[in-house]
Amino acid sequence: MADKTPTVRPTSQSVAAFLKQAAKTPMRAPDGKNGRLIFAMDATASRGPTWAQAMGIQTEMFQEAATVGGLDVQLVYYRGLMDFGASPWLSNAERVIGLMRGVEVMSGNTQIERMLRHATEEAKRGKVNAVVFIGDAVEESADLIAAAAGQLALRGVPVFIFHEGGAEPAGSVFRQIAQITHGAYSIFDARSPQQLRDLLKAVAIFAAGGRKALENFSRKAGGVVLKLTNQMGGNS
């Protein structure tokens, strides 16, 4: 992946309000270390039509998370013929953004089971607070995916699924992953960029500050963010 220097865009008034509220909540993990978030992307060709828009939204997420602080990110993607990549753990948001922008879509099959198993291996090495996955399709065995999600759940890692388009049968598989891991599932499309922005910010808050920080944010944000929080049940 190419490490490019991105152009930083100014934050909006709504983002500024979010940061002001988030700053009132301690954003460090309980052990004093940064929270850790795996950000996984389906980079297969079916996502091509909305790829540029998704990149813009995800860039904002990392810029805002950096302003709040307390978050390390590992970027994971799959595409092509078994092309699977994972970055080091990075606390520099601009480097994460540069790596992310260096990923281009390529025709290939999904590798969701592999992504979940990778996350489990990372969680064995050290605490992982959350996994974000953005994708639109499933081309693998649902049973194998569920088994991999179960192993991740044993490590206490929730998976937040952002499903582009909401089509079945992928939706059923994605909802199962979220349920097994005590995460959350949400649909988005090209007509709802603000919804994705809000949800991604919420997950960044959770990974950095835990359930308490997410609840504080969701009470202010309401709407889809509150629904996401409610889906998580008793997860901490």
Q: What is the DSSP letter of 186?
A: E
- For residue 21, give the 3-state DSSP assignment: helix
**CA distances in angstroms from 129 to 32, 81, 112, 207, 226, listed in the order given:** 13, 30, 19, 5, 19
Higher pLDDT, 193 or 79: 79
**pLDDT of 149 over the 90 cut:** yes
**pLDDT of 111 over the 70 cut:** yes
Fold of 32-231: Rossmann fold (3.40.50)
- For residue 75, give the 3-state DSSP assignment: strand
**Backbone φ, ψ for residue 167 (5° rounding):** -70, 150
Q: Which residue has the tokens 């509150």?
A: 226
**CA distances in angstroms from 134 to 4, 26, 200, 203, listed in the order given:** 22, 27, 10, 13
**pLDDT level of residue 201 (50, 70, 90 thresholds):** confident
Exposed/middle/buried for 141, CB within 10 Å: 0-12, 13-18, 19+? exposed
* Rounded CA separation 236/93 (Å): 25
Q: Could you tell me the pTM of the whole model? A: 0.78
Q: Which residue has the tokens 């598989």?
A: 173
Q: What is the pLDDT of residue 236?
A: 44
3-state secondary structure 127-151: CCCEEEEEECCCCCCHHHHHHHHHH
**pLDDT of 68 over the 70 cut:** no
**pLDDT of 151 over the 60 cut:** yes
